Amino acid sequence: MNEITLLDREFSVYLTEDEIQSRVTALAEKISEDLKGQDVLFFGILNGVFLFAADIIRQISLNAHISFIKLASYDGTSSTGKIKELIGWNEDITGKTVVVLEDIVDTGSTLERVIGELKLRKAADIKICTLLFKPEAYTKDIPIDYIGFEIPNSFVVGYGLDYDGYGRNLKAIYKLTK
């Protein structure tokens, strides 16, 4: 299934299931090595991260907690730049090592907001792990510790990422063609 149509848009395969899974394994191994011996809180940012979070957490060999927050800033295929809602901060973060899990970092506004909250809540150490990163769209200077794939500045769907709610269940990642 190299080409797909979702609503009014066509997409072609960009990262296959195998490419994604082997990168997820490599990221899990690196994080487990770097944070060896630590008790770590993984913080997934919903909705897009749900598949990435489920896959990476099962390969992490650390004492880990996982929690999710929800925060949406996207409408259709172009970033609104507006942060709408932020729910689910029910973990005590004080003094903890936190790994923020993101499906994709685009402008970085979402990340900036989450990092700001984690600092206010006195996390001891904050690491950031994103499956996808769009360097051309990134407007912040927050360093990202773990990146799965750097991708061009075009719209992608699949493996948790949606187009108007569709496509999250696709195993591969697809790029907008027209």
Q: Does residue 109 belong to the site contacting ligand 5GP (CB under 6 A)?
A: yes
Q: Cβ closer to ligand 5GP: 32 or 89? A: 89
Compute the distance between CA of residue 34 and CA of residue 53 in angstroms, rounded to an integer.
Answer: 18
Subset of residues 37 to 76 that bind ligand 5GP, contact rule: CB under 6 A = 48, 73-74
Residues 122 and 151 sit within 8 Å (Cβ to Cβ):
no
The one catalytic residue in 39, 55, 75, 106 is 106
Q: Binding ligand 5GP by CB under 6 A: which of 157, 170, 172, 173?
A: 157
**Which amino acid, 160?**
G
CB of 8 to ligand 5GP, least distance (A): 15
Select the span of 7-15, 51-59, 99-107, 142-150 touching ligand 5GP (CB under 6 A). Answer: 99-107
Is 162 catalytic? The answer is no
Select the span of 16-24, 33-41, 90-98, 150-158 touching ligand 5GP (CB under 6 A). Answer: 150-158
Q: Binding ligand 5GP by CB under 6 A: which of 68, 103, 148, 170?
A: 103
Name the residues that contact ligand 5GP, by CB under 6 A: 48, 73-74, 79, 102-111, 155-157, 161-162
